[in-house]
Amino acid sequence: MTAKEKEACMICVLLRQLNSQRLPRLFAMKERLDQGGRMDSDDIDYLHAGLHDTMRIRYLCEGHPDLAALCTRVTALYKEITMRALANESHAG
């Protein structure tokens, strides 16, 4: 398998994981936070792991403009969730 084929396979797996696992959980988390909920330690760990993974695959986004836009939107979602969680914590305590 060539390097390009390996990269294409990796992108396919990452996109599948994003659609089937990451986005549903992130959207559920965002909805809960938008309703005034707070993050628990599992949420924080999940966000931390997701951001770490995003940094690890950044090189893929840099080489593919279509992925770069998606990476930017997902990163913005992480930021929005983090900012909402911070606001909720500030109001709670």
Residue ranges of the domains in the chain? 3-92
Query: How do residues 9-35 score in pLDDT, each as one tens digit?
Result: 989 999 999 999 999 999 999 999 999
Residue 32 Cα distances to 6, 51, 70, 93, angstroms: 37, 20, 23, 18
**Structure tokens belonging to residue 74:** 């997902």
**Structure tokens belonging to residue 30:** 């965002």
Distance CA 63, CA 41 (A): 34
User: Which of 68, 46, 65 has the alpha carbon at shortest distance from 57?
Assistant: 68
| pLDDT tens, N- to C-terminus, the chain (93 residues) | 898 899 889 899 999 999 999 999 999 999 999 999 999 999 999 999 988 888 888 888 888 888 888 888 998 999 999 999 999 999 876
- pLDDT value of position 92: 79
Residue found by looking up tokens 């792991």 in the block: 49
